[in-house]
Each structure stands twice: as structure tokens, then as C-alpha cells.
Amino acid sequence: MAVVHQTELKPTKLELLTGWLPSRPWYRGGPGTPHLSRAGGFRLDDPRGEVGIEFLVVTDTSGAGPVTYLVPLTYRGAPLDGAGHALVGTMEHGVLGPRWAYDGCHDPVLLDRLPALIEGRAQAQDQDASDTPDHEVGVSFTGEGPLPTDLTATDDRDGTLLASPRGTVLRLHRVLRPEDGSPLAERQAAGRVTAVWRTVEGDRVRGPIVTL
């Protein structure tokens, strides 16, 4: 199990994302600086214990209305070869020292663990506590495994597609919306991951974050 250290980060994750989010094609904010707050998320364990994996949910209140984003991040103790384009930024961790934060959709460790989560071979972990499963992360899978891990990420206006040459496609919903009660997505998707986050009013809502 990954150890979550209660320590200081310089700059903070939200400070890194403030500069990075407006560069994404799925960002819905205006020309001003995002005003971000944490709204939820969870972690996955790296079996080797080397890479931190976090699915961070943040809300931007800088525009006409709040927009909530899913930002999968990986944290490494050294640069990831060939992933300079996916670097969100670097931080100084109070315990671990320098950390390189990447858009996790381009990190092979996250691309291995996300299919494992969908198949039920990996357990979502609490965002802020060590050795604590997050049972609020919902997973359904009706397809046949194992799912491929040779996924290539492509961003578009609607989010991020993770596609395998063998035809498997995962859609990451970067702009999050609560479930509307429609069963259509359940009928069409071979797998889904849902999570809970907080609105700016403090309400807890659930919605899809990944669709297979």
C-alpha cells in the first residue's frame, strides 16, 4: 500500500494546475486565471511502490459558473523518459524531495493500473489516508479481460481518449457531471468507473469518470 505523507508541497498541486489547465483542449474556462479548489478524488497503488497515482477532482469558480475537472496525476522521483510533453510541473515534497508531476494518461504505470481497477484487480484507495480503501469509487465491468494496457492518450474538446491498437477505447470524462439517472450509458458501456465529489455548495454528488 502507498504511504500518504501529511507534508508540505511547494508549489502545491492546485498551484501547478492553475498554470496547466488552461492549456488543455477540454478546459472550459475563460482567458482569466483559474480559481481552483479540491473537490474529491482517490488514489491507486503502484505495486512497485515507486510512482504515486492520484485521480484528483478540482473545481474552477473563475467563470460564469463552476466547472469540475478530473485530473489523473502521477508523481515520480525522477523524470519519465519521453514524457516531457506530459509534464504538469515539479514540486518539492517535504519528505520525498523533488517530485515530477505528470498527466497520468501518458504514464505507463497509471495505464497499467486503470484497467486493473476496471477489472476488479485493483482497489481504489483513499486520497488522504494510507492503507485505506475508498469504497465510494464504483466499478462495473461486463466485458472480457484482460484489458490492454498499451493505450495511447488523445485529448479533444470532450476529454481524453485512451485507445489500444486492438480496438479497446477508454473515455476519461475530464469535465465531470453528476449522473442524470439515465440507464443508457450503462447499456452501452462495457465498463465504467464512477466517483463522488463535492459541489461548491457542499453537496456530495456521483458521476462517471471513465467509460469503457
Give domain status of residue 90, yes or no. Answer: yes
Overall number of domains in the chain:
1
Lowest mean pLDDT among 42-46, 78-82, 182-186, 193-197: 182-186
Indicate whether 4 pLDDT > 90: no
Give domain status of residue 118, yes or no. Answer: yes
Nearest-10 Cα torsion for 187, 69, 153, 42: -80
- Percent pLDDT > 70 in the chain is 91
Q: What is the pLDDT of the chain when averaged over all its residues? A: 91
| Amino acid in position 145 | G
Nearest-10 Cα torsion for 17, 18, 21, 27: 130
Triad 80, 211, 119: Cα angle to 5°: 75
More confident residue, 85 or 144: 85
Give domain status of residue 59, yes or no. Answer: yes
Give domain status of residue 184, yes or no. Answer: yes
This model's pTM is above 0.75:
yes
Indicate whether 1 pLDDT > 80: no
- For CA atoms 4, 74, 204, 124, the dihedral sign is negative
- CA 41 – CA 127 distance, rounded (Å): 6
Mean pLDDT of 87-96: 83
Indicate whether 5 pLDDT > 90: no
- CA 210 – CA 1 distance, rounded (Å): 23
- CA 145 – CA 190 distance, rounded (Å): 11
Domain hosting 84: range is 9-211
Write phi, then psi, for 106 (nearest 5 degrees).
Answer: -115, 10
Give domain status of residue 34, yes or no. Answer: yes
pLDDT in tens, 123-166: 999 998 888 999 999 999 998 889 999 999 999 999 999 999 98
**pLDDT on residue 44:** 98
Give domain status of residue 3, yes or no. Answer: no
Nearest-10 Cα torsion for 72, 73, 74, 80: 110
Give domain status of residue 2, yes or no. Answer: no
Give domain status of residue 95, yes or no. Answer: yes
